[in-house]
Amino acid sequence: MRCPFCAHPDTQVVETRDSDEGDSTRRRRRCGGCDKRFTTYERAEIELPAIVKRDGRRTDYERAKLKGSMMVALRKRPVSAEALDLAVESIEARLRQSGDKEVNSTQLGEWVMNELRKLDKVAYVRFASVYRSFDDVSEFVAAIKETARRGGKGEGA
């Protein structure tokens, strides 16, 4: 592995740890050129289903895009990065378990809303308001009432 600081081709693994879930390996490395240390993560590459958009286009699943959209909904909310990562991993587990080659974006959106509902009610309503494209205030109010009726965490994780 090349050093991200000086691009030296020789780096040495100083420490290796498996994640708590056992699905990735964390490695601390030291560069033989500049002597700086950095961390790498090794994860099995599992092909996830393609996402079928509402207009019929197909795109590859992108973890960064999913996490980014959830982060927008969670902006300025008291939810830890760890809780967000666990939610993304839960969604990815559902994608793997589906066994399908393609998953509709509608289904993926429902899974995202389900995870956001568990994390933070405000983030859930934010995401739902964009995702479901409410036409008027009454639909927005109905979503808020549904969230309040279901209960759960509202102050973050």
How is residue 85 written in tokens? 């990562």
pLDDT per position as a tens digit, 23-38: 789 999 999 999 999 9
Can you give the residue ranges of every domain in the chain? 11-43, 50-150
Helix (H) or strand (E) holding 25: strand 24-31
The pLDDT assigned to 89 comes to 92
**pLDDT, greater one: 57 or 144:** 57
pLDDT per position as a tens digit, 77-120: 999 999 999 999 999 999 988 888 999 998 999 999 999 989 99
Rounded CA-CA distance 61/56 in Å is 15
Provide the edge-to-edge strand list for the sheet that holds 50-52: 58-59, 50-52, 102-104
**pTM of the prediction?**
0.60
18 within 8 A of 38, measured Cβ to Cβ: no
